[in-house]
Amino acid sequence: MAHRTEHRRHPNGSAVADPLLLQKALTGLDVGVYVTDEQERIVAVNPHAEELLARSAAFLVGRNAHDLLHRGAGGTPLPRAQCQLMKVFRRGRGSHGGSKWFMRGDGTLLPVVWLVTPYELADGSTGVAVLFHERAAEQSEALGAVESGDHVAALAALADSLSLISATTTVLTSSLEMAEALRRLVRLVLPRLADWAVVDLVDEDGDLQRVAVTHYRDGQHVRVEELEGPLPAVPPDSVMPLSRVLMGAPVTRLSSRDYTDPLDSDMAVVQRRLFEATGMRSAIAAPLRGRGGEVLGVLTLGRSGQRRDFDSTEITLVDDIAHQAGLALDYEQQRRVAEAMQRYLLPQLPRVPGVDLEARYHPAPQSSRVGGDWYDAFVLPDGTLTLVLGDVMGHDLRSAARMAEVRSMLRAFAWDRESSPAEIVSRLDRALATIGIPTMATLVFARLVRTAAGSWTLSWTNAGHPPPLLLTPDGGARFLDHGSDLLVGPDPLTDRHTAGVALEPSSTVVLYTDGLVESATHSIDAGLAALRRHAVDLVRGPLTDLCRGLIERVRPSDNDDDVALLALRVADGRTSTASGEDAGPR
């Protein structure tokens, strides 16, 4: 199950813009705004546009903007080749104009002053934001030109703000580590909004760290490391501006005047030194809040020299940016916790005479969503080696926790009584339904048994998972694709089947999750073919080289899913091997 980042879609199939953009950037604007995707479909619209166009957002979203709205004088439909807005749209550059009419929902025409600016959507594609204002039709041409010029200037300022929010969203939702994303965010806002930027974060232990102090000077972003580092604790009774923001106050103005004697904390002393060192004349501090409202840090922007103080529009814009940064931080913290949980639960592989075991776990790329991939291997009292490799649906801390629950229940059922793989996974189906854990997962549950004659038999059940790959010493390779059943979760009464195969001496079996073979750029069949081809090339080497080589050669370059891999090799009958000292999770 490749769990790739999904974006909400309108029922008619169009992509829906980032909800933060809709709620924060667009809602409060006193001009009409609609955003379109690369196919000219409207993906977001603000309340003022609904009012001006006499149409609801539910009606507008998903429809072609040109066909629905753009008209010539007298309401005549415009061919795309004659529509100035469409010409601008195709060039991919910003522009503005005043001789345009939009068709309203009541059948009347709305004369508009408009401005178009490119806008990067949440899925990484580029559309446009169209900002428009009603043009008074009864005014003279000269007065109309003056009014149009004033409105275009105002629209241009708003478009610049939208462009900044778009760039901010792109940086914060990229695959960068959060530290680098914050550094890039600072470079976006300087010098556009300020000369100085300071980022303070609360770490996992609750301590406060000043992680970035950047100054824009002589056309360059200069990091001032001597002002960074650990910060004092904030007393709960402190009334200093930054302290209040850290304790939950909204975006707040601050200046050096706030940090004159008497100072009420060591933090206030640090802030006074900051103002002295930077020469900031005015500043604003915006909280970085997580989804639950907790403050994860503060973004401070400051102006020095003769730059004017921040106005209310700029303060709102900074608050929007800080809001997005806070959500990204919250997500990053959850990702780290979930990844740590996954790694903690991955077992040390047991030593089994006559069997080599090797495993790998590779998390998804930085800042991608955490998955529920896992492997497990343990020996039962009768000497049976039990192997599990699975993938719980979802990419968050809840999914990681459910992975842990499924892993623990499978271990318990395997130890409880001697049962076939199908019977054990069927018990898991019923248990999940009985205790009300809404979980869906794919997995392979296998048992490796040594016969009295010294050979090996592998039996397994497959719950909707990619098939194990069997490699034989003569260079043969085939997928064990018989006996695949429904994934775990949807139906507690599903029939499950156990399949089996006798393993020749020196045979190798590879279990893996779909992140190894699935890609947005090729089919699953192509991924499986690549896995088999490379496995045949690598199988004659040590098992460690096989696992490492499969990760390096087969894992797609555009992979955004985590990968778990578990491989076993039975002895050639003449020697008895055991898993090496370095057999734990990697």
Query: Which is more confidently placed, 521 or 285?
Result: 285
What average pLDDT score do residues 247-270 get? Answer: 90
Please give the helix or strand (H or E) that residue 543 lies within, else none. helix 543-554
195 and 274 assigned to the same domain: yes
Side by side, which strands form the sheet with 563-570?
355-362, 563-570, 508-512, 469-471, 477-479
CATH number at residue 287: 3.30.450.40
pLDDT at 63: 93
Q: Which residue(s) pair with 389 in the sheet?
A: 375, 444
pLDDT at 522: 81
Q: Is 69 helix (H, G, I), strand (E, B) or coil?
A: helix
153 and 196 assigned to the same domain: no
| Least confident span in 52-61, 218-227, 527-536, 553-562 | 553-562
pLDDT at 354: 93
What average pLDDT score do residues 513-533 get? Answer: 89
Q: State yes or no: pLDDT of 219 exceeds 80.
A: yes
Tokens 């089996």 belong to 500
Query: Which is more confidently placed, 10 or 189?
Result: 189
186 and 148 assigned to the same domain: no
Q: Are 463 and 425 in contact (CB under 8 A)?
A: yes
CATH number at residue 43: 3.30.450.20
507 and 399 assigned to the same domain: yes
Going by pLDDT thresholds of 50, 70 and 90, the confidence category of residue 97 is: low
What's the distance, CA 130 to chain centroid?
Answer: 27
What's the distance, CA 278 to chain centroid?
Answer: 35
pLDDT at 420: 94
Going by pLDDT thresholds of 50, 70 and 90, the confidence category of residue 140 is: very low
What average pLDDT score do residues 90-109 get? Answer: 77
324 and 373 assigned to the same domain: no
Beta strands in 46-156 (DSSP E): 70-71, 95-103, 109-120, 126-134
Helix, strand, coil share of the chain (percent; to 5): 35, 25, 40
pLDDT at 312: 81
Q: Is 351 helix (H, G, I), strand (E, B) or coil?
A: coil
pLDDT at 22: 44
CATH number at residue 471: 3.60.40.10
| Least confident span in 27-41, 104-118, 186-200 | 27-41
Going by pLDDT thresholds of 50, 70 and 90, the confidence category of residue 114 is: confident
Q: d(Cα 29, Cα 316) in Å, to the nearest integer?
A: 11
What average pLDDT score do residues 254-266 get? Answer: 88
Q: d(Cα 64, Cα 52) in Å, to the nearest integer?
A: 18
pLDDT at 152: 52
Question: Rounded to two decimals, what is the model's pTM?
Answer: 0.55
Residue 431 inside a domain? The answer is yes
What's the distance, CA 546 to chain centroid?
Answer: 31
pLDDT at 89: 67
Please give the helix or strand (H or E) that residue 397 lies within, else none. helix 397-416
Going by pLDDT thresholds of 50, 70 and 90, the confidence category of residue 104 is: very high
128 and 205 assigned to the same domain: no
Residue 171 inside a domain? The answer is no
Going by pLDDT thresholds of 50, 70 and 90, the confidence category of residue 146 is: very low
Work out the number of other CB atoms within 10 angstroms of the CB of residue 109.
15
| Residue 260 zone, left/alpha/beta (φ > 0; ψ -120 to 50; rest) | beta
Residue 489 inside a domain? The answer is yes
Residue 579 inside a domain? The answer is no
Q: d(Cα 255, Cα 239) in Å, to the nearest integer?
A: 14
Q: State yes or no: pLDDT of 141 exceeds 50.
A: no
- How confident is the model over 32-53, as pLDDT tens digits? 888 888 888 998 888 889 999 9
Q: What is the tally of structural domains in the chain?
A: 3
Q: Which of 67-76, 173-182, 419-428 has the highest mean pLDDT?
A: 419-428
Q: State yes or no: pLDDT of 158 exceeds 60.
A: no
Q: d(Cα 317, Cα 193) in Å, to the nearest integer?
A: 9
pLDDT at 46: 84
What's the distance, CA 102 to chain centroid?
Answer: 37
Residue 582 inside a domain? The answer is no
128 and 241 assigned to the same domain: no
Mean pLDDT, the chain, as a whole number? Answer: 81
pLDDT at 261: 82
526 and 469 assigned to the same domain: yes
Among candidate residues 98, 125, 158, the one where a domain is terminated: 158
Query: Which is more confidently placed, 160 or 19?
Result: 160
197 and 230 assigned to the same domain: yes
Peptide bond between residue 365 and the one before it cis (omega within 30 degrees of 0):
no
Going by pLDDT thresholds of 50, 70 and 90, the confidence category of residue 185 is: confident
Q: d(Cα 77, Cα 79) in Å, to the nearest integer?
A: 7
Residue 576 inside a domain? The answer is no
pLDDT at 342: 65
Domain of residue 483 covers: 346-570
Query: Which is more confidently placed, 86 or 478?
Result: 478
Residue 265 inside a domain? The answer is yes
pLDDT at 357: 96
DSSP 44: E
59-75 exposure pattern, b = at least 16 Cβ within 10 A, e = fewer:
ebbbbebbebbbbeeee
Among candidate residues 292, 310, 337, the one where a domain is terminated: 337
388 and 410 assigned to the same domain: yes
Among candidate residues 101, 126, 158, the one where a domain is terminated: 158
- How confident is the model over 308-332, as pLDDT tens digits? 888 887 887 788 788 878 887 887 7
Residue 246 inside a domain? The answer is yes
132 and 206 assigned to the same domain: no
Q: d(Cα 175, Cα 559) in Å, to the nearest integer?
A: 12
pLDDT at 374: 86
pLDDT at 9: 36
308 and 374 assigned to the same domain: no
Reading the block at residue 460, the tokens are: 């397994």
pLDDT at 555: 87
Q: Give me the phi and psi of 377, to 5 degrees please.
A: -150, 130
Q: d(Cα 488, Cα 320) in Å, to the nearest integer?
A: 42
